[in-house]
Amino acid sequence: MTVWLNIHTEREIMPVLEVLARAKINLTLDITGLLPDGYHELETVMQSIALCDRLFFSLRPQGIEFQTDSPLVPAGPENLVYRAAELLQRVTGCRRGVHIFLSKNIPVAAGLGGGSADAAATLAALNQLWSLGLDRGELIDLGAKLGADVPFCLTGGTVLARGKGELLTPLKPLPPVGVVMVTPPLAVSTAQIYRAYDRLLPGVHPDTAAMVAAVERRDIPAVAARLGNILEPVTTALYPQVSAVKAALKAAGPLGVVMSGSGPTVFGLCRDEEEACRVAGRLDPGLGRILHTRFCDHALKLAVIDGSR
């Protein structure tokens, strides 16, 4: 059951643990086969960006109470935040309660891992708030039960992910490269895109090894030149608008352009955020939601705040 509370005026639920949950982009995304359980085997170089959701957690005697400021986000048991809290209760036997408020800033169903970032934030926050004592490996194992991107969203930075996304190899941190993103007004289903991929012949696989080498050299032009996503032709075939967005963004002058995840967000890399801001200013607002940000070397930031302010 969802209970609607005003987190800023309910003195009895203070103090509040605030978590910044970073979005992600895929510098490369490849499918290398099928796993025994039928899931796609992934190989992807993932990067945290400064764009984030804000979540606020406060203790309650019992129950999971969830509130969000976004009409696009379900505020009940179907939400990954709610499911993450339930999973922790089930696995650990903890019966303490929590009130969660989600301030949504990452575009929804956009290929930026917003839901996964929120789930990761919930696992990390409740591990602290409920004094569960789980280590990072245990949290990653739990995160993998919730979604392929959740393990990365618990660690962040620049990472090579394999398997379903849970096998993580940290790479050398990249500098604060600028990112400009365009999210057209489309809600793309990840499951739909993977089903469509299975019906089509494979496209051109990105060169993951070359991307990893470029990252390790911290060679930003080489990173931009090696962007690739095996799902992009699938998504653009179903949603031609994504191709138009990519063409417009490429014409605006970033170093390189590619779709993130299963889409529909398309991003371009720039030398810094100032350049990303200039590129964003050249784009037609009618393309969709246009944002600029930068690379970030971590996924989560937790802080105890005085929620009465």
User: Which pLDDT score, from 0 to 100, does residue 76 have?
Assistant: 84
> Comparing C-alpha atoms, which of 309, 53, 287, 34 is closest to residue 183?
287
Residue 6 burial (10 A CB sphere; 0-12, 13-18, 19+): exposed
Yes or no: say if 184 and 65 are a contact pair by the CB < 8 Å rule: no
Which residues are catalytically annotated? Answer: 24, 149
Average pLDDT over residues 202-225: 95
Centre a 10 Å sphere on the Cβ of residue 274 and count the other Cβ atoms it contains.
11
Name the band, by pLDDT with cuts 50, 70 and 90, for residue 39: confident
User: Which pLDDT score, from 0 to 100, does residue 14 have?
Assistant: 56
* pLDDT for residue 95 is more than 80: yes
The tokens for 280 are 């964003």
User: Which pLDDT score, from 0 to 100, does residue 305 have?
Assistant: 81
The tokens for 136 are 């990072």
pLDDT digits (tens, 9 = 90+) for 238-287: 999 999 999 999 999 999 999 999 999 999 999 999 999 999 999 999 99
Domain 14-171 falls under CATH 3.40.50.300: no
Yes or no: say if 43 and 30 are a contact pair by the CB < 8 Å rule: yes
Collapsing DSSP states into helix, strand and coil, what is residue 56?
strand
Yes or no: say if 42 and 63 are a contact pair by the CB < 8 Å rule: no
What percent of the chain clears pLDDT 90, i.e. is strictly above it?
83
User: Which pLDDT score, from 0 to 100, does residue 306 have?
Assistant: 67
Yes or no: say if 260 and 180 are a contact pair by the CB < 8 Å rule: no
User: Which pLDDT score, from 0 to 100, does residue 209 have?
Assistant: 98
Give me the residues paired with residue 162 across strands.
43, 167
Average pLDDT over residues 116-144: 96
The tokens for 26 are 């895929």
> Comparing C-alpha atoms, which of 231, 275, 281 is closest to residue 256?
275
Distance CA 196, CA 122 (A): 32
* pLDDT for residue 13 is more than 60: no
Distance CA 118, CA 125 (A): 10
Residue 257 burial (10 A CB sphere; 0-12, 13-18, 19+): buried
User: Which pLDDT score, from 0 to 100, does residue 37 have?
Assistant: 85
Distance CA 144, CA 54 (A): 22
* pLDDT for residue 149 is more than 70: yes
Distance CA 78, CA 98 (A): 17
* pLDDT for residue 6 is more than 80: no
Distance CA 194, CA 196 (A): 5
* pLDDT for residue 5 is more than 80: no
User: Which pLDDT score, from 0 to 100, does residue 10 have?
Assistant: 42
Mean pLDDT of the chain: 92
Cis peptide before 107 (omega within 30 of 0): no
* pLDDT for residue 92 is more than 80: yes
Owner of token pair 């032009």: 221
Distance CA 26, CA 112 (A): 8
**18-27, 205-214, 282-291, 300-309: which has the minimum mean pLDDT?**
300-309
DSSP code string of 109-121: TSSS-HHHHHHHH
- What's the length of the chain? 309
Average pLDDT over residues 62-67: 94
Distance CA 262, CA 190 (A): 6
Per-domain boundaries in the chain: 14-171, 178-207+220-294
Cis peptide before 221 (omega within 30 of 0): no
Kind and range of the H or E element at 281?
helix 273-281
User: Which pLDDT score, from 0 to 100, does residue 11 have?
Assistant: 40
- 129: alpha, beta or left? (left if phi > 0; alpha if psi -120 to 50): alpha
pTM: 0.91
At the topology level, CATH places domain 178-207+220-294 in: Alpha-Beta Plaits (3.30.70)
pLDDT digits (tens, 9 = 90+) for 152-165: 999 999 999 999 99
